[in-house]
C-alpha cells in the first residue's frame, strides 16, 4: 500500500489489529520493511534466490536472530 513518504506492508496475522511496516530498502531480489515501534517483529525481509525460492525473515532491527521461512513453488 502507498502512504505518505513511500510504500508500506500491512500485517494483520490471526485477526489482530493491523501493523504497518515501511519499505526501507529495495532491489530486484530483496525488499526490507521495518517498524521500530512494534514489539516483534520489527523487520521483515523478503529475498528471491537465483533458483526462484522466496524467503521471508522476520525479527528485530537490532539484536536477536530472525526466523526464516522459505516458500517454494513447484510446477
In tens, the pLDDT along 14-43 reads 989 999 999 999 999 999 999 999 988 999
What are 46's strand-pairing partners? 31, 56
SS3 30: strand
Closest C-alpha to 54, from 68, 66, 43, 40: 68
Residue 61 · residue 36 · CB < 8 Å: yes
- Give residues with Cβ within 8 angstroms of 7, minimum separation 6: 1, 22, 23
Residue 57 · residue 65 · CB < 8 Å: no
Cell of 17: 489489529
- Encode pLDDT of 3-21 as tens digits: 888 999 999 989 899 999 9
Domain boundaries, the chain: 2-71
Amino acid at each position: 500500500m502507498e502512504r505518505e513518504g513511500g510504500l508500506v506492508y500491512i500485517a494483520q496475522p490471526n485477526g489482530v489489529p493491523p501493523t504497518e511496516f515501511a519499505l526501507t530498502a529495495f532491489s530486484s531480489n530483496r525488499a526490507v520493511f521495518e517498524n521500530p515501534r512494534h514489539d516483534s517483529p520489527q523487520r521483515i525481509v523478503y529475498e528471491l534466490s537465483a533458483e526462484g525460492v522466496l524467503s521471508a525473515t522476520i525479527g528485530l532491527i537490532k539484536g536477536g536472530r530472525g526466523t526464516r521461512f522459505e516458500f517454494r513453488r513447484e510446477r
